[in-house]
A = this chain, B = another copy of it.
Amino acid sequence: MINDFIYDIPVRVYFGRDQLKHLTAELKKYGSRVLMTYGGGSIKRIGLYDRVVREIKKAGLELFEFSGIEPNPRIDSVREGARLCKEHRIDVLLAVGGGSTIDATKWIAAGACVDHDPWDFLDWSKWAPVNKALPIVDILTLSATGSEMDCGGVISNPATKDKNGRLDPHLLPKASFLDPSNTFSVSAYQTACGAADMMSHIIEVYFNMNQDLYMLDCFMEGLMKTIIRFAPVAMRKPDDYEARANLMWASSWAINGFINGGKAQLWSCHPMEHELSAIYDITHGLGLAILTPRWMEYCLDETTVSKFVQFGVNVFGIDASLQPMAIAKLAIEKLSAFFFDDLQLKRDFPSVGIDDTHFSAMAKKAVRGDTLQGFKPLRQQDVETIYKMCMS
User: Which residues in A have some Cβ–Cβ distance to B below 8 Å?
Assistant: 2-10, 12-19, 22, 180, 211, 213-216, 218-219, 221-223, 225-226, 229-230, 241-242, 245-246, 249-250, 253, 261-262
14 additional A-B pairs beyond A4-B14, A4-B15, beta carbons within 8 Å, are A2-B180, A4-B16, A4-B17, A5-B16, A6-B12, A7-B12, A15-B261, A15-B262, A213-B245, A213-B246, A215-B249, A216-B249, A221-B222, A249-B261
Contact of A214 among B7, B241, B246 (CB under 8 A): B246
A-B contact pairs, 30 of them (CB 8 A): A2-B16, A2-B180, A2-B245, A3-B16, A4-B14, A4-B16, A4-B17, A4-B19, A5-B15, A5-B16, A6-B12, A6-B13, A6-B15, A7-B12, A7-B13, A7-B15, A8-B12, A10-B12, A15-B261, A213-B246, A215-B223, A215-B226, A215-B246, A215-B249, A215-B250, A215-B253, A218-B222, A218-B226, A219-B222, A222-B222
**Nearest-neighbor residue (CB-CB) of A262 within chain B:** B16
Closest 3 pairs between A and B when the two form their complex, measured CB to CB: A4-B16, A218-B222, A215-B226
Bound Cα distance from A8 to B177, whole angstroms: 12
Contact partners of A241 in chain B: CB under 8 A: 2
Bound Cα distance from A22 to B211, whole angstroms: 26
In contact, B13 and A242 (Cβ under 8 angstroms): no
Contact partners of A229 in chain B: CB under 8 A: 214
Contact partners of A17 in chain B: CB under 8 A: 4
In contact, B218 and A225 (Cβ under 8 angstroms): yes
**Nearest-neighbor residue (CB-CB) of A3 within chain B:** B16
In contact, A14 and B6 (Cβ under 8 angstroms): yes
**Nearest-neighbor residue (CB-CB) of A217 within chain B:** B222
Q: Which one of A8, A15, A225 has the highest number of Cβ atoms from chain B below 10 Å of its Cβ?
A: A15
Contact partners of A242 in chain B: CB under 8 A: 2, 211, 214
Bound Cα distance from A219 to B245, whole angstroms: 15
**Nearest-neighbor residue (CB-CB) of A227 within chain B:** B215
CB of A205 to closest CB in B, whole Å: 15
Contact partners of A15 in chain B: CB under 8 A: 4-7, 261-262
Contact partners of A8 in chain B: CB under 8 A: 12-13
Bound Cα distance from A32 to B128, whole angstroms: 35
Bound Cα distance from A17 to B17, whole angstroms: 42
CB of A53 to closest CB in B, whole Å: 22
CB of A170 to closest CB in B, whole Å: 16
Q: Which one of A12, A214, A215, A226 has the highest number of Cβ atoms from chain B below 10 Å of its Cβ?
A: A215
**Nearest-neighbor residue (CB-CB) of A6 within chain B:** B14
Q: Which one of A2, A221, A246 has the highest number of Cβ atoms from chain B below 10 Å of its Cβ?
A: A2
CB of A143 to closest CB in B, whole Å: 12
**Nearest-neighbor residue (CB-CB) of A19 within chain B:** B4
Q: Which one of A7, A226, A229, A245 has the highest number of Cβ atoms from chain B below 10 Å of its Cβ?
A: A7
In contact, A218 and B223 (Cβ under 8 angstroms): yes
Bound Cα distance from A14 to B262, whole angstroms: 11
**Nearest-neighbor residue (CB-CB) of A252 within chain B:** B7
Contact partners of A253 in chain B: CB under 8 A: 215
